[in-house]
Chains A and B, each alone.
Chain A
Amino acid sequence: MDQQELRALEHRCIQEEAPECTAACPIHLDGRAFAGHVAKGDWKEAWKTLYRTMPFPGILGRICDAPCRQRCKRREAGDPIEIGELERACVATPPPDFRVQQLPRRGRTVAVVGSGLGGLTAAWDLARKGYSVRVFEPGPRPGGPLRDIPVQRLPEAAMEAELERLAALGVELSMNVAVEPAQFLEQCISEHDAVFLSLESVQGRAWNLPKDAAGRITVDPSLQATGRPGVYAGGRPDAAGASPVWQAAQGRWAATSIDRFLQNVSPSAGREKDGPYETRLFTSLEGVEPLPKVAAADPESGYSPAEAVAEAGRCLQCECLECVKVCAYLERFGAYPRKYAREIYNNESIVMGIRQANKLVNSCSLCGLCERVCPEDFAVQDLCLQARRRMVRRGKMPPSAHEFALEDMRFSLSERFRLGRHAPGRSQSAHLFFPGCQLCASSPGQVRLVYRHLMDALDGGVGLMLGCCGAPAFWAGREDEFQSVCAGFLQEWSALGKPALVTACSTCFRMFTEHLPQVPTTSLWQLLEGIDLPPPAAAPAGQPLAIHDPCTTRPYPAVQDAVRRLVQRLGTSAEELILGRDKTECCGFGGLMQNANPDLSREVAARRARSSPLDYLTYCAMCRDSLAAVGKRALHVLDLAFPDQSVADPAARPRPGWSDRQENRSRLKSSLVSELWGEAGEAFEEYRRIRLIIAPEVAELLDRRRILAEDLQQVIRAAEKSGSGAAHPATGRLKAGLRPYRATIWVEYSPSPEGYVIHTAYSHRMEVLGAAK
C-alpha cells in the first residue's frame, strides 16, 4: 500500500466527515460536540467549543441566526436542534478561563474601518495572527449596528467583556472618526499594510473603489477582496437582511485574505471549505423517534439550563458507523475503517519495533458485510486480505495466525482424505459431487446418504471428489498455495472428464465460481430442486426455524432462494433474520477468524445466535457447528432432507472437535472406498493404534488448544519407544514432548491397562535447542 492508496481508502470512509451543522455553519462551529456537552450539562466544555471557532461567543452566541438549522438531520425526525438558543443558554453561564493563542508580532499594521461584527472579527483574527490592528469607528462607541440590538438580547456588560478581550490582544480602537471622506481611505491605505472595511457600519460612498451599478463597493464574495490591492471588505447586509454569523464569517475570510496578501502567498489555495459546504457524512435515522423542539417556558429570556440540556439531548450526534454497528470485529478494535486503513498502512511501514495491527489484519472474517452496508462501499475485507498477502510475501505473517487451519487443509488434501473417482462401475461422470472438507468432518453419514441418493437420481454417472477447495489458503493470503490447490483440482477434474461440479458447501461454491470459472459449478441445493428427495423420515419440525445464510452466499441470491424453496418443499416453515440474504452475518469461522482470534470468533457466533430465539437452519457445516459451539440450537438443511436416524435431536448435536473432524474425514474415505469400490481402506500408521483415555473436560481443553488425539499418539509412541521424557515419582505421571511439525507438543499421561490416561497437553512454537554450550 502506498500513500496514495492509503489516502484514497481514507477518503472513502466518511465517519470523519463533518456533521451537517458544522458544514452549514459559515464559521464551522462544531455543533455536534457543543450540543453533546450541553446535553451533559457540561457548560465549561460547551463554552470551550464555542471559543474554538467563534470570535466573540458573548456576542455572537446571543444573536446567531443559526443557519445550521436548515440542514440539521433532526429535521427529518422532528424539529431541527435549536443550536442558536443553546448558545444563548450557554453564554448566560459564567465563562471559564480560556487561553487565547496569539502569534508573535509581525511588525505590520492593518486598519479596520467600522466596528460591526465583521470588523471586530477581522480585528480579532488579525491580532491573533500577530498583526497590529487599529479600528476606526465613526460612532461614539464600538460595535456599530450591534448597539441597536435590545439589551435584553445583548446586554452591555456582555459587549464590554468581549471588547476587553479584544483590547487584551493589543487592538487599538478610535471612536468618532470621520471615515466617510475619500481622503480618509487614501490615508488609511498609505499608513497601513492592508485595510478591512466593515460595511455593516460604514458606507464609503466617496471612497475611490470600484463599484457596481447600484453604486455599492464591489466585493469578491469569498476572498472579500475589493478592486484595490490590499483593501478588503465584508459584512454588508444582503437582500435577506443582516446575518450576524455571515458577517462574522466575512470578517474572518477577509482576515485570512489579508494574512495571505501580506505573506505574499496564494489567496485562494485550500480555501474550498471556507464557507458552508456539502458533507458526505451519512447518518441513519433508523429507529429514531421523531421529537419536537423543547419549548422555553419564557421565550423572551430563552432556555433555562434544564431546558437547554433537554433540547441538546435531542441531538442525534450524527455519525455513520454503519459498518461498525453490524460487525463485532470492527467494533472490537475500537475505531472505524478510516483509522484501520491508517493502522494497517503504519503496520507495514514499520522497520524496527512491534507490528501492532497484525491481529487487526488477521481477525477479519472477510465476509464483506461492511461493504454491503457502507454508503461509500468501503470493503474492509479487501483491505485485510491484501494486507495478509503482502505480509505473506514479505515473510511477516505470524505463523500462529493461520497455521492450524492450513495444516487442516493440508490434511484434507493428503491421501488421508483426498479422493477423486467415477461412481463404482462407471467410466465417466456427468456430475462430480464435492461435499467439501468440513461437511465430511461434521456429518460424514449424511455425505454418504447424499452421494448414494445422487447416484440413484441422476443420469450420466456421479463421481465423487473429497478434498478442499483451498479457501483456507486463500483466506490466509497464501496466493501460491491457493494457486497450487486450484491447479491440483483442475488436473484431477480434467482427468475425470470435466464433469459438472456439485458443491454442498457455500464456501467451495464461491471459491470455484470466482476462481475457476471454467468449471461448471452448481450448489447441491439448486441441483436437488430438479430431482426427487428421499421419502420424509419424520414429520417436519413443528416450530418455524430461522434461516441463517452463510456469509459466502451473500452474492448468490439464486443459492439462497433454492434453499428456501427446498425447505418449503420439505414442509418446514422458515423465517428470515433481520440480517439475512445479502446482509447476512458471518458465524465467526470465515476468513480464518476462528484461528487468528478465537475469542472474537465466539463472540461473533454468540451475537449471531442472539438474533432470534428460534432454532436456526443453515446450509454450511461450519456455520452450524460454530453456532452449536455457543449453545445455539441449529440444524443443517441436510438434517431435514437426509436425516441421520441415529441422531435423536440434530439441532442439539454438539460441534465435533478438531480431532473428531479429522478422524471423521479419514474414516469417511476408508469406509466409502471399501463400501462402494470394494477396496481395503488406508492402512493405519502404527501410532494411531495407541489407545487414549481422555476425560470430556480434557478433550475440550485440547480442542481449544488445537491439539489433536493424533498428536498425543505420536508423542506417546516416541516417548515409550525411546524411554525418554520425565517421570513424577509422587504421582507416577509421565511427561514427554515431541516436535512433529512447527510446534512442540507436551503430554502429561499415565499408562493404564486400558490405554494411556491423558491429564493435559500443551504446545509452544519456540524451539528448545538444548543445554547452552
Chain B
Amino acid sequence: MRAENVNPEDLQWVCRKCSRPLESGTASVEYMGNQFTTELPMCRGCGFVLISEALALGKMAEVEQLLEDK
C-alpha cells in the first residue's frame, strides 16, 4: 500500500478533536502477525488515522485476503 491510498477527498475531513485538516502521513498497520507502514490520511495533532470506505473495501480487503491465505 502506497501513497495512492490517500485520495484528495480524504483530506477534506477535519479532525474533530484538533480541528486540523487531515494530511497524508505514514501509519503502521498490522494483520495476522504482519506489520507494515503505509501512507494514510491522518491528523498531525493527535495521530488519528482515517480509513476511507474505498480503501477498506478495496485495497485493504485484498491485502487482508492475501494475508489470510498466506
Contacts and interface: CB of A to CB of B under 8 A. Distances in A.
B64 A765 contact: yes
Given A358-B68, A726-B50, A771 B35 contact: no
Nearest to A720: B16
Contacts of A400: 64-65, 68
A21 to B, nearest CB: 42
Given A746-B53, A760-B53, A769 B66 contact: no
Contacts of A769: 27-30, 35
Q: Which of A354, A723, A765 has the most CB of B within 10 A?
A: A765
Contact of A737 (B12, B25, B51, B65): B51
A353 B69 CA distance: 8
A766 B29 contact: yes
Nearest to A719: B16
B69 A356 contact: yes
A770 B28 contact: yes
Interface in A721-758: 722-730, 734-735, 737, 744, 746, 748
Contacts of A722: 17
Q: Which of A355, A730, A771, A773 has the most CB of B within 10 A?
A: A771
Contacts, number: 100
B55 to A, nearest CB: 8
Contacts of B25: 771
B8 interface: no
A398 B30 CA distance: 15
A763 interface: yes
Nearest to A705: B57
A726 B66 contact: no
A746 B50 CA distance: 9
Contact of B31 (A719, A735, A748, A766): A766
Contact of B37 (A354, A746, A765, A772): A772
Given A355-B69, A355-B70, A772 B56 contact: no
A404 interface: no
A772 B27 CA distance: 5
A764 interface: yes
B7 interface: no
Nearest to A760: B53
Nearest to B33: A395
Given A769-B28, A770-B47, A354 B69 contact: yes
A675 B28 CA distance: 52
A148 interface: no
Contact of B27 (A737, A763, A765, A770): A770
A764 B68 CA distance: 13
Nearest to B22: A726
A735 B69 CA distance: 31
Contacts of A727: 13-14, 16
Given A766-B63, A767-B29, A735 B68 contact: no
Nearest to B39: A772
A726 B64 contact: no
A374 B42 CA distance: 57
Nearest to A773: B28
A765 B61 CA distance: 8
A764 B56 contact: yes
Contact of B60 (A398, A726, A735, A766): A766
Nearest to A359: B69
Interface in A682-736: 719, 722-730, 734-735
Contacts of A355: 69-70
Nearest to A763: B56
A399 interface: yes
A737 B32 CA distance: 20
Nearest to A734: B16
A727 B60 CA distance: 23
Given A400-B64, A770-B27, A771-B27, A723 B51 contact: no
Interface in B1-22: 12-17, 22
A723 B17 contact: yes
A730 B8 CA distance: 14
A726 B16 contact: yes
Using C-beta atoms within 8 Å of the partner chain, give the interface range for chain B. 35 or more
B27 to A, nearest CB: 6
B29 A398 contact: no
Given A765-B31, A766-B60, A770-B28, A726 B48 contact: yes
Contacts of B32: 399
A415 B69 CA distance: 35
B36 to A, nearest CB: 9
Nearest to A745: B56
B24 to A, nearest CB: 11
A729 B68 contact: no
Interface string A370-391: 0000000000000000000000
Contact of B51 (A728, A730, A746, A770): A746
B26 A762 contact: no
Nearest to B43: A726
Contact of A768 (B29, B57, B68): B29
Contact of B49 (A398, A723, A763, A771): A771
Given A726-B16, A728-B14, A762 B53 contact: yes
A667 B36 CA distance: 44
A768 B40 contact: yes
A719 B63 CA distance: 28
Contact of B13 (A399, A723, A724, A726): A726
Nearest to A759: B53
Given A400-B68, A766-B60, A724 B30 contact: no
A723 B60 contact: no
Contacts of A771: 25-28, 42, 47, 49
Interface string A38-72: 00000000000000000000000000000000000
A736 to B, nearest CB: 8
B52 to A, nearest CB: 9
Contacts of A354: 66, 69-70
A772 B13 contact: no
Given A746-B56, A772-B28, A730 B12 contact: yes
B69 A358 contact: yes
B51 A764 contact: yes
Contacts of B26: 771-772
Nearest to B66: A354
A232 to B, nearest CB: 55
A163 to B, nearest CB: 58
Contacts of B47: 770-771
Given A764-B64, A771-B47, A771-B49, A398 B12 contact: no
24 contacts: A354-B69, A354-B70, A723-B16, A724-B16, A726-B13, A726-B48, A729-B12, A734-B16, A737-B51, A744-B51, A746-B53, A760-B53, A764-B56, A764-B60, A765-B31, A766-B60, A767-B30, A768-B29, A768-B40, A769-B35, A770-B49, A771-B25, A771-B27, A772-B28
> Top 7 A-B pairs ranked by shortest CB distance?
A398-B68, A726-B13, A769-B28, A766-B31, A772-B26, A764-B56, A772-B37
Given A766-B64, A768-B51, 9 more contacts: A399-B32, A400-B65, A724-B48, A762-B57, A766-B29, A767-B31, A768-B40, A771-B49, A772-B27
Interface of B: 12-17, 22, 25-32, 35, 37, 40, 42, 47-51, 53, 56-57, 60-61, 63-66, 68-70
